[in-house]
Structure 1
Amino acid sequence: MSNHAVDLGDDQLNDRIAAGVAAVERLLHDETNRGASFVSDKAQHLSEAGGKRFRPIMALLASEYGQTPGSESVVKAGTVVEMVHVATLYHDDVMDEADRRRGVESANSRWNNSVAILAGDALLAHASRLMSQLDTHTVEHFAETFEELVTGQMRETIGAGEANPIEHYMAVIKEKTAVLIASAGYLGAYHSGATKEQATALRTIGGAIGMVFQIVDDIIDIFSDSQESGKTPGTDLREGVFTLPVLYALEEDSEAGEGLRGLLTGPLGADADVERALELLRASNGRERALADVQRYLDIVSAECSALPDIPATHALLSLASYTAARVG
């Protein structure tokens, strides 16, 4: 999805969502442009770098089920979710010691870790102020969401330990990635006056799309052609991060599995080792098993959508899910 128009299969829906995203952009800019300039400059660094605005789009789509789609409250809720998403990017960059993010220098390489953490904190302050203009239910929902985000980040940082590595991985992406897209679905529906059942369904749909999004990203990291994806295959392997297809391959009783268990004992430094690992992964059934999980989440989206009214937004959610999955190629 580009930064600009998203084709959701219905011209009027496209117009409403585009207008909603533009309103989110304005509010995001105005709300982060407060206080001392040395704070606002840094808080705006990543939020102005763009991004797909996937979460606000999810909130706006979910608001189509209530009486007030795209209302001021919905725009505020979508902006809150995006602010928190960007705040977690600042904090993630510090933990990952990343030097690029969204095509610009990451905040921590441009300044330093302390400033990056404080910029993330400033965004959380702005998000809290916006939530205070909504209602206490939103604040409560958000506290639960944020606790889950922190749990996921900490779970990832500490590592699987004695836990099953695949269950550990699934818990991390549910808590770190899916929960915020689920939150966008829920808050968009809630603030448009959708029914409680619909808000719950949209929360589930958002979470399932979030799981698809992350698993697909992880598959692309290993199996895609760098010309097509713009990513260097095996980035996660170089960093010693073992994602779902790798974890499946590692537990396989095969030559590929055995070779990988010998090779993947930590980060891979040499290009030849990365190449060898990618070869072994292609020979394993890691990709198929990860794709089976993607299909399981797509089935959840289909089942939840079939219980929603037959409106353009429902078709848009289905195509958003299949579009996300289709990036695997």
Structure 2
Amino acid sequence: MTRLPPLARRSKTLSASLGLGEKLFASSEERRFADAIETGLAEVEEGLLREVAFADDMADVTSRYLLEAGGKRIRPVLTLLTAQLGEGNNPAVITAAQAVEITHLASLYHDDVMDEAEMRRGVPSAQNVWGNSVAILTGDLLFARASKLVAGLGEGAIKLQADTFERLCLGQLHETIGPRPGDDPIEHYLQVLADKTGSLIAAAAHMGVIFSKAPEELSAPVVAFGEKIGVAFQLIDDVIDLAEPEETGKAQGTDLRSGVATLPLLFLRRAALTDQEAAALLARIERSVGADPDDPELAEAIAELRAHAVTAETLDEARRWAAEAVAALAPLPEGPVKLALTKFAEAVVERST
């Protein structure tokens, strides 16, 4: 038996976190399905370690940095999941799963430069270690490597990758410039999430259908599911950002302290138009952002935002997107794929509790 690399041995935990554990699947067919995901993910992990290797010593170190730091592997798991609607884990599906995860990995290097993030996956961000230029170029190298993998899958895969990459870039651009005059800030924010997160998750699910040769009519449902669950995932992250450090292992309100306008803050701004208490809380938060990160006034204001009705409203919005994602799965045949995707959607929103 092939000895799996350290990253691959984490797949059991990952699959359980997405609703693929033994407690969910009781029948022999369902257990075979779960085993197929585990086996496929092990192949993907082995391929990732191989595909991010570079002959250049510096590139080899920087490109492996965030891969070896961990990650949930949500996107390749979704590719493997939807592939079970067709032939299952054939070589093209494994390659597609690797390509989509490397694309995601590349985007993290660029995102952290744009956001001036200090940490990623529990380690100092790449630009904190090597500087912005090296981090950007590492992301570019990884995008190139993902493109080489996709090129081997044919013209359709190349177009899907290009369309997804375009949306990733547009999402980052729109986040950077912010809503224009006349735009609704909340709708603008949700579209940014759909572009930056939903598009790649949708592409991951779509690739599983395409390269497993599943029925073509199943593409639209899994694409709609992927985009909607991607938005829900990020909205739950907005709620988690406000949780106590004991729950998350990081400072409460990390995004807010960095000046990122998450949905709770956008809802608070809307409420402040008619509610004096909301306006006062908003003023305290905006006055303290960018100041001393240990400012007790900001910490108190963030805790109040966590308890405010706008955070519950954000959670409701995430649940709405997750429910729409599940509803999009209606055309899928009954069975372990549909069950797993439904349970994954439920697990996404349960992360906040």
Which TM-score tier does this pair reach, normalised by the shorter chain? over 0.9
Whole-Å separation in 2 of the counterparts to 1:26 and 1:279: 43
In the TM superposition, what is the alpha-carbon distance from 1:268 to its structure 2 partner?
A: 4.6
1:305 corresponds to which letter in structure 2? L
**Equivalence for 1:269:** 291
1:269 corresponds to which letter in structure 2? A
**Equivalence for 2:4:** none
**Equivalence for 2:316:** 292
**Equivalence for 1:56:** 76
Whole-Å separation in 2 of the counterparts to 1:235 and 1:274: 11
Deviations 1:219-265 (A, max 9, x none): 1111x232122232111121111211111122112233211332243
1:233 corresponds to which letter in structure 2? Q
Whole-Å separation in 1 of the counterparts to 2:212 and 2:39: 16
1:42 maps to which of 46, 53, 62: 62
TM-score when normalising by structure 2: 0.88
Whole-Å separation in 1 of the counterparts to 2:164 and 2:158: 10
Whole-Å separation in 2 of the counterparts to 1:73 and 1:257: 52
In the TM superposition, what is the alpha-carbon distance from 1:279 to its structure 2 partner?
A: 4.4
For the 8 Å contact 1:268–1:274, the answer to whether it is kept is no
For the 8 Å contact 2:193–2:231, the answer to whether it is kept is yes
In the TM superposition, what is the alpha-carbon distance from 1:102 to its structure 2 partner?
A: 1.1
Whole-Å separation in 1 of the counterparts to 2:280 and 2:303: 10
3-state SS of 1:240 partner = coil
**Equivalence for 1:12:** 32
1:317 corresponds to which letter in structure 2? L
In the TM superposition, what is the alpha-carbon distance from 1:321 to its structure 2 partner?
A: 0.7
Matching of residue 238 in structure 1 with residue 257 in structure 2: yes
**Equivalence for 1:308:** 332
Name the count of aligned residue pairs. Answer: 326
2:276 maps to which of 241, 255, 277: 255
2:279 corresponds to which letter in structure 1? E
Structure 1 alignment gaps of length 5 or more: none
For the 8 Å contact 2:285–2:298, the answer to whether it is kept is no
For the 8 Å contact 1:248–1:285, the answer to whether it is kept is no
The within-5 A match list for 1:102-113 is: 102-113=121-132
The within-5 A match list for 1:125-136 is: 125-136=144-155
Deviations 1:285-323 (A, max 9, x none): 212221221122122122122321111111111111111
Whole-Å separation in 2 of the counterparts to 1:3 and 1:103: 16
Matching of residue 324 in structure 1 with residue 331 in structure 2: no
The within-5 A match list for 1:139-150 is: 139-150=158-169
Whole-Å separation in 1 of the counterparts to 2:123 and 2:311: 31
**Equivalence for 1:78:** 97
Deviations 1:69-118 (A, max 9, x none): 11111111111110010101111111122232112222111111111111
For the 8 Å contact 2:205–2:223, the answer to whether it is kept is yes
TM-score when normalising by structure 1: 0.94
Matching of residue 200 in structure 1 with residue 207 in structure 2: no
1:272 corresponds to which letter in structure 2? P
Structure 2 alignment gaps of length 5 or more: 1-8, 26-30
For the 8 Å contact 2:109–2:135, the answer to whether it is kept is yes
